[in-house]
Amino acid sequence: MSTTRIDGVSVTPQANVYFDGKCVSHSLVFPDGTKKSVGVILPSTLTFNTGAAEIMECVAGACEWRMAGEETWQRSGAGERFSVPANARFEIRTTEPYHYICHFG
Amino acid sequence: MSTTRIDGVSVTPQANVYFDGKCVSHSLVFPDGTKKSVGVILPSTLTFNTGAAEIMECVAGACEWRMAGEETWQRSGAGERFSVPANARFEIRTTEPYHYICHFG
pLDDT digits (tens, 9 = 90+) for B12-69: 999 999 999 999 999 999 999 999 999 999 999 999 999 999 999 999 999 999 999 9
Q: What DSSP designation does B71 have?
A: -
Q: pLDDT band at residue B85, thresholds of 50, 70 and 90? A: very high
Q: What residues of chain B lie within 8 A of the CB of A14, using their CB?
A: 4, 40, 59-60, 99
Residue A21, in any domain of the structure: no
Return phi, psi of residue B89, to 5°: -120, 135
At residue A105, the pLDDT reads 77
Mean pLDDT of the B74-81 span: 98
Residue A87, in any domain of the structure: yes
Q: How far, in Å, CA of A65 to CA of A70, rounded?
A: 10
Of A20, A59, A97, the CB nearest to B13: A59
Q: What residues of chain B lie within 8 A of the CB of A9, using their CB?
A: 8-11
Of B6, B26, B99, the CB nearest to A38: B26
Give me the tens of pLDDT residue by residue for chain A, a chain 105 residues long.
789 999 999 999 999 999 999 999 999 999 999 999 999 999 999 999 999 999 999 999 999 999 999 999 999 999 999 999 999 999 999 999 999 999 997
Structural domain count of chain B: 1
CB within 8 Å: A6 and B7:
no
Q: How far, in Å, CA of B79 to CA of B72, rounded?
A: 21
CB within 8 Å: B13 and A4:
yes
CB within 8 Å: A38 and B21:
no
Parent domain of B90: 39-105
Is the predicted pLDDT of residue B105 greater than 90, yes or no?
no
CA-nearest residue to A20 within chain B is: B42
For residue B67, what is the domain's CATH number? 2.60.120.10
Facing residues of B88 across strands? none
Is the predicted pLDDT of residue B1 greater than 80, yes or no?
no
ipTM of the complex: 0.96
At residue A96, the pLDDT reads 97
Can you give the length of chain A in residues? 105
Listed in sequence order, the residues at least 6 apart from A31 whose beta carbon sits closer than 8 Å to its beta carbon are A8, A9
CB within 8 Å: B99 and A14:
yes
At residue A1, the pLDDT reads 72
At residue B23, the pLDDT reads 98
Chains A & B: contacts with CB separation below 8 Å = 96
Residue A79, in any domain of the structure: yes
> Are the C-beta atoms of B104 and B50 separated by less than 8 Å?
no
Is the predicted pLDDT of residue B2 greater than 90, yes or no?
no
Residue A61, in any domain of the structure: yes
Residue B33, in any domain of the structure: no
Residue B26, in any domain of the structure: no
Residue B6, in any domain of the structure: no
SS3 label, residue A54: strand
Residue B21, in any domain of the structure: no
The one-letter code for the residue type at B94 is: T
Distance of alpha carbon A81 from the chain centroid: 9
Listed in sequence order, the residues at least 6 apart from A48 whose beta carbon sits closer than 8 Å to its beta carbon are A84, A89, A90, A91, A92
CB within 8 Å: A17 and B101:
no
